[in-house]
């Protein structure tokens, strides 16, 4: 199983809000994310812990988390942001999922749910942490 992981979903895993990704990773799931989303993870860890490099390095070197930037993802993220009032980084996760033909995992957020209600196409690629079967 392969999932595009949004920033909020990985941070919710790292701060103990959710265990869903840990359980899926234990069963072999691959977690992919764009450099934009990983940059957000990096700065949040840096702000809270004072450093982030060692944790990010371990996440990536574990080969459980893959940072990928497929061709076309930037343009697609920009188009997503053009159509929807959601964070650009959320658009990167959705665009990564679209390009790889997989689902994007998000921590549940109201703005995203509202956008999904307006655009059913968006909803096709999104799953929330609390919906994942582990």
Partner 1 sequence: MESIKIRPETKRRLIKYRARLEAELGRKVSLDEAIARLLESAESRDFAKFLKAVERTRSRAGKGELVGLLKAGRGEDEAGG
Q: Contacts with partner 1 in 69-98 (CB under 8 A)? A: 70-72, 87-89
Do residues 3 and 24 touch, judged by C-beta distance below 8 A? yes
Q: Does 43 bind partner 1 (CB under 8 A)?
A: yes
| Closest distance of CB 100 from partner 1, Å | 6
One-character DSSP codes across 31-52: EEE-HHHHHHHHHHHHHHHS--
Q: Does 12 bind partner 1 (CB under 8 A)?
A: yes
| Closest distance of CB 102 from partner 1, Å | 8
65 to 56, 58, 59: CA distances (angstroms): 9, 9, 6
CA–CA separation, 93 vs 5, rounded Å?
A: 7
Which positions lie near partner 1, rule CB under 8 A?
2, 7-8, 11-17, 22, 25-26, 28, 30, 32, 40, 43-45, 47-49, 55, 58-59, 61-65, 68, 70-72, 87-89, 99-102, 107
């Amino acid at each position: 199983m392969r999932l595009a992981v949004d920033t909020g979903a990985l941070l919710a895993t790292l701060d103990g809000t959710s265990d869903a990704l840990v359980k899926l990773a234990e069963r072999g799931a691959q977690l992919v994310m764009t450099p934009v989303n990983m940059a957000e993870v990096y700065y949040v860890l840096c702000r809270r812990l004072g450093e982030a490099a060692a944790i990010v390095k371990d996440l990536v070197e574990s080969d459980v988390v893959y940072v990928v930037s497929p061709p076309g993802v930037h343009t697609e993220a920009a188009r997503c942001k053009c159509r929807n009032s959601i964070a650009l980084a959320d658009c990167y996760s959705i665009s990564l999922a679209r390009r790889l033909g997989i689902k994007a995992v998000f921590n549940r957020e109201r703005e995203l749910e509202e956008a999904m209600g307006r655009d059913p196409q968006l909803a096709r690629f999104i799953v929330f942490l609390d919906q994942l079967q582990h």
